[in-house]
DNA sequence: CCAACCCCCTGAACGC
DNA sequence: TGCGTTCAGGGGGTTG
């Protein structure tokens, strides 16, 4: 479920608690929580190693180990990570428990069981999919020129493009809607139909919306634990996601819902126009079939 | 290359 | 109350 801001927060809460600690024991409640290598090998390779630090790439969490290996975790929809003392009551849906030095446990719980761990040994070729990710929203290389270059010829809906992790890493369905609202672009618009100013608004919105939410989701370890690893949903801050039928916070028009690329999308029909208001640069033959629907 | 569909799972919310 | 349906914020795979 979590997207970039939530994963970043999980990393920020978890890293200081486990940094420097040694993994003394690994208990897998479900073996299929390990994607790579074979579960027994994973346990053997991880046991005895110390965690030197954590990182994030897109929605992937990274745990750097003292032998140069890297443990990777993707929370997918419902994964939760908790750092607790061993006597702390067990969570429902616990899938893996890492016993750490200093009487602490790193626990992974995951209702829907989509979450996965990988272990990459030092120098091992990536098999997590991280290597296919596009730039982070805050990368200097993510410019409107680059985005237009990358997507300008695509007829896919711009919302679909935003959710494509190979384009930009870390955006999911929630922030996809929020970004498009901030950029005043309708999710259904074909990427190829965006104007220069729209590419610029979109690029700015990607950075600013993600930055805003990363800053807002600043939760302490105590708060996080109180919420059992789910207390990062800052719904009050979301302007359109999940607010289908509510008035637009900017203009008051009724927010609408549409399905784009199979994902539910909410937008403001007035702020996010179906097409550019300015004269769209006419390109020969490209968008021929679009008859002009009013 | 791309849309559409299926799959992986479980539980909450909703309609009857 | 009970039961069936639909939906959920992730991603990978196949098909046409």
Quote the CA–CA distance of A116 and A69 in Å, as a whole number: 17
pLDDT band at A232 (very low <50, low <70, confident <90, very high): low
**pLDDT for A70:** 97
Which residues of A are part of the catalytic machinery?
2-3, 59, 263
Task: Point out the residue nearest to C10 (C-alpha to C1').
Answer: A76
Predicted confidence at residue A218, as pLDDT, reads 80
Predicted local confidence at residue A221, as pLDDT: 86
Q: For chain A, give the mean pLDDT.
A: 90
Host H or E run for residue A24:
strand A23-28
What tokens appear for A67 in the block? Answer: 């032998």
Q: Among A98, A92, A75, A88, which residue's Cα sits nearest to residue A28?
A: A98
Distance between CA atoms of A198 and A31, rounded to whole angstroms? 47
- pLDDT over 70, % of chain A: 92
CA-based torsion, A147, A148, A151, A156: positive or negative = positive
Q: What are phi and psi of A130, to 5 degrees?
A: -60, -30
Helices and strands (DSSP H and E) totals, chain A: 7, 11
Task: Report the distance from CA of residue A3 to the C1' of nucleotide C10 in Å, as an integer.
Answer: 9
Is the pLDDT assigned to residue A283 strictly greater than 50?
no
For chain A, the distance separating the N- and C-terminal CA atoms, rounded to the nearest angstrom, is: 37
A224-233: average pLDDT: 72
pLDDT in tens, A112-151: 999 999 999 999 999 999 999 999 999 999 999 999 999 9
Residue in this structure with the two tokens 């990062």, named with its chain if needed: A232
Count Cβ atoms below 10 Å from residue A10 Cβ, excluding itself. Answer: 25
**Strand C contacted by A172 CB (< 7 A):** yes
A39-48, A82-91, A231-240, A248-257: which has the minimum mean pLDDT?
A231-240
Q: Is strand C in 7 Å reach of the CB of A59?
A: yes
Are residues A73 and A58 in contact, defined by beta-carbon separation less than 8 angstroms? Answer: no
Candidate from A8-22, A128-142, A143-157, A277-291 with smallest mean pLDDT: A277-291
pLDDT of residue A1: 67
- Are A70 and A16 a contacting pair, CB within 8 Å? no
Q: Looking up tokens 């897998």, which residue turns up?
A: A28
Q: Residue A164: pLDDT above 80?
A: yes
**Distance of alpha carbon A171 from alpha carbon A2, whole angstroms:** 10
With a cut of 60, say whether residue A272 has pLDDT above it: yes
pTM: 0.92
Q: Which residue has the higher pLDDT, A185 or A288?
A: A185
Q: What is the mean pLDDT of residues A267-274?
A: 94
- Least confident segment among A8-17, A130-139, A229-238: A229-238
Which distant-in-sequence residues (6+ apart) come within 8 Å of A241 by Cβ? Answer: A173, A174, A175, A177, A178, A266
Question: Smallest CA–C1' separation from A75: which nucleotide?
Answer: C10
Q: Is the pLDDT of residue A83 over 50?
A: yes
Q: List A97's β-bridge partners, or say none.
A: A27, A107
Q: What is the pLDDT, as a whole number, of residue A277? A: 63
Q: By three-state DSSP, how is residue A183 classified?
A: helix
Residues A256 and A248: beta-carbon distance below 8 Å: no
Rounded to an integer, the average pLDDT of A8-24 is 96
Please tell me whether any atom of strand C lies within 7 Å of the Cβ of A5: no
Q: What is the pLDDT of residue A231?
A: 57
- Sign of the torsion formed by the C-alpha atoms of A247, A253, A256 and A261: negative
pLDDT band at A291 (very low <50, low <70, confident <90, very high): very low
Binding site as annotated, residues of A for DNA: 93, 112
């Amino acid at each position: 479920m979590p997207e970039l801001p939530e994963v970043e927060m999980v990393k920020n809460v978890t890293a200081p608690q486990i940094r420097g600690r040694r993994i003394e024991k690994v208990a897998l409640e479900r073996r299929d929580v390990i994607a790579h290598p074979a579960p027994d090998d994973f346990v053997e390779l991880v046991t005895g190693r110390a965690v030197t630090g954590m990182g994030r790439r897109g929605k992937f969490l990274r745990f750097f180990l003292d032998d140069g290996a890297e443990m990777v975790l993707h929370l997918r929809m419902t994964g939760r990570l908790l750092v607790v003392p061993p006597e702390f009551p067990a969570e429902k849906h616990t899938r893996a428990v890492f016993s750490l030095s200093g009487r602490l446990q790193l626990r992974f719980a995951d209702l829907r069981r989509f979450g996965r761990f990988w272990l990459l040994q030092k120098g091992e070729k990536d098999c997590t999919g991280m290597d296919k990710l596009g730039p982070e929203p805050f990368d200097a290389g993510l410019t409107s020129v680059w985005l237009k270059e990358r997507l300008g010829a695509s007829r896919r809906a711009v919302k679909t493009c935003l959710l494509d992790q190979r384009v930009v890493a870390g955006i999911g369905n929630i922030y996809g809607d929020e970004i498009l609202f901030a950029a005043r672009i309708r999710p259904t618009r074909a990427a190829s139909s965006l104007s220069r100013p729209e590419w610029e608004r979109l690029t700015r919105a990607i950075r600013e919306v993600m930055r805003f939410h990363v800053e807002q989701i600043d939760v302490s370890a105590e708060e996080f634990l109180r919420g059992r690893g789910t207390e990062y949903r800052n719904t009050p801050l979301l302007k359109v996601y999940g607010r289908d039928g509510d008035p637009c916070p900017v203009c008051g028009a009724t927010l609408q819902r549409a399905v784009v690329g199979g994902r539910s999308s909410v937008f403001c029909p007035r702020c996010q126009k179906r097409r550019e208001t300015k004269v769209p640069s006419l390109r020969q033959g490209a968008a021929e079939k679009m008859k002009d629907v009013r």
